[in-house]
Amino acid sequence: MADFVLVTHTRWTEAPRIRHQVARLLRDAGHRVLFVERADYPWSGPLPAAVEVEPGITLTRTTRLIHHQFRVIPAMHRLDASHVARRLRDVVDRWRPAPDFTVVNFTHDGWFLRETFPGQRIVTVIHDDFEAQSRLPFSGHIAWTLERTCRSSDTVLAVSEPLRERLAEWCAPKLFLPWAVVPYRHPVAPVAARRTLLFWGYVDTGIDLDRVEQVASHLAQRGPDWQVLLVGPTQGTGVRGPIIHRLSRFPNIEVRDPMPLDALPLEETLAALLPYRRSAITDSVTLANKSMQLLARGLPLLISAMPRFLEAPFVIRMDGAGGIASAVDACVERFAQLQRPIEEFCAANAPESRLLQIIAG
């Protein structure tokens, strides 16, 4: 058993992402985890006490002085880092880890972690295109911290091939794709009973609503029992209502609040729908975070945009030459044949393979 300190810009209560998945992966392997969630500001009030949010996972929080997107000059980075480093050291010391604990960093601005924990192994996971997400019309300040974070880490893992290529300028990053958190299950219901296309993720502005409407229009031509089901939370206020209002024109589109994947009518589902719009962020995606969970249920992936997405028999483009009709036809005709490559892919991307990357580098 070993101890791992996970440093993130994520709140534990957010919808599960790769930070949560890594925490549970380590915990399930018998290790102790300290999850340091997104920092507050000192003037926000007293910090909550550390708490065990799940068996083997302790949640804590620190403070920061300046939001990481707005530290536009090195002096601001250093000022904030000096504050965060002291607070981080305090919360880790109170947790009392083993002397040889590992720091798993999910931030692009963790360059100070080497000085804060000089004797520990530092694994950095770059899980987003942070430069593309800059809130300002420039991103040089983000590149400044990203480079120093990568150079000071013992191991750097990137969740997509474009990100790995970007970081290779500063280090030797390894590809770290999502994994199947549950074993593959062979679908039981026949393809004739499957008339639903399922989107399971964030129902917000990242979705190409034009594409969703095109899919719904095509499914309406196939028959009254075909539908699009969108399930998930929405990031940002005032976003979900307009989306639901717009899609309400289509009687074969249903939008549901977040719920576990296995609580959905998977026996009626033909494929997973990934109808994202083209953007700098989606251009860097090799495998969407939810993809492995959908594949583990035997669902092929119907995708749009994401030009660098994984190429595999079970990944079918809706924006290809044949369009949506051809993509849906391919799912219907090849659903059974696709199960073998899906099962093999899930087996090759089991949790054990990702655990080894975290532990051994």
Kindly report, residue by residue over 176-198, the tens digit of the pLDDT: 999 988 899 999 999 999 999 99
d(CA 34, CA 27): 10
Residue 56 near residue 213 (C-beta atoms within 8 A): no
Instruction: List, in order, residues 6 or more apart from 241 with CB less than 8 Å away.
Output: none
Instruction: Please tell me the predicted confidence (pLDDT) of residue 131.
Output: 77
d(CA 61, CA 67): 15
- The percent of residues in the chain predicted with pLDDT above 90, rounded, is 80
Instruction: Please tell me the predicted confidence (pLDDT) of residue 45.
Output: 83
pLDDT-based confidence at 43, cuts 50/70/90? Answer: confident
Residue 178, CB half-sphere, CA atoms under 13 Å: how many?
25
Instruction: Please tell me the predicted confidence (pLDDT) of residue 192.
Output: 96
Instruction: Please tell me the predicted confidence (pLDDT) of residue 104.
Output: 98
Kindly report, residue by residue over 294-343, the tens digit of the pLDDT: 999 999 999 999 999 999 999 999 998 789 999 999 999 999 999 999 99
Nearest to 228 by CA among 204, 254, 202: 254
Residue 335 C-alpha from the chain's centroid: 26
d(CA 288, CA 48): 33
Kindly report, residue by residue over 131-168, the tens digit of the pLDDT: 777 776 667 888 999 999 999 999 999 999 999 999 99
Average pLDDT, the chain: 93
pLDDT-based confidence at 78, cuts 50/70/90? Answer: very high
DSSP string over 193-227: G--EEEEES--STTB-HHHHHHHHHHHHHH-TT-E
DSSP string over 144-187: HHHHHHHHT-SEEEESSHHHHHHHTTTS--EE-----SS-----
Instruction: List, in order, residues 6 or more apart from 185 with CB less than 8 Å away.
Output: 296, 297, 298
Q: Mean pLDDT over residues 24-29, rounded?
A: 96
SS3 101: coil
d(CA 220, CA 247): 14
Nearest to 191 by CA among 330, 333, 355: 333
Residue 163 near residue 253 (C-beta atoms within 8 A): no
3-176: CATH topology: Rossmann fold (3.40.50)
Enumerate the domain spans of the chain. 3-176, 191-347
pLDDT-based confidence at 236, cuts 50/70/90? Answer: confident
pLDDT-based confidence at 31, cuts 50/70/90? Answer: very high
- Token pair, residue 130, equals 């942070």
Helix (DSSP H) and strand (DSSP E) numbers for the chain? 10, 14
Instruction: List, in order, residues 6 or more apart from 272 with CB less than 8 Å away.
Output: 197, 198, 199, 200, 290, 291, 294, 295, 299, 300, 301, 302
- Token pair, residue 333, equals 């005709």
SS3 266: helix
- The residue type at 239: V
Instruction: Please tell me the predicted confidence (pLDDT) of residue 16.
Output: 78
Residue 336, CA distances (Å) to 331, 332, 340 in order: 9, 9, 8
Radius of gyration of the chain (CA): 22
Instruction: Please tell me the predicted confidence (pLDDT) of residue 356.
Output: 92
Instruction: Please tell me the predicted confidence (pLDDT) of residue 138.
Output: 65
Do the domains spanning 3-176 and 191-347 agree at the CATH topology level?
Answer: yes
d(CA 131, CA 280): 9
d(CA 181, CA 148): 32
Kindly report, residue by residue over 250-291, the tens digit of the pLDDT: 999 999 999 999 999 999 999 999 999 998 888 889 999 899
DSSP designation for 56? T
- What are 315's strand-pairing partners? 301
Residue 225 near residue 195 (C-beta atoms within 8 A): yes
- The percent of residues in the chain predicted with pLDDT above 70, rounded, is 99
CATH 3.40.50.2000 fits 191-347, yes or no: yes
Instruction: Please tell me the predicted confidence (pLDDT) of residue 361.
Output: 66
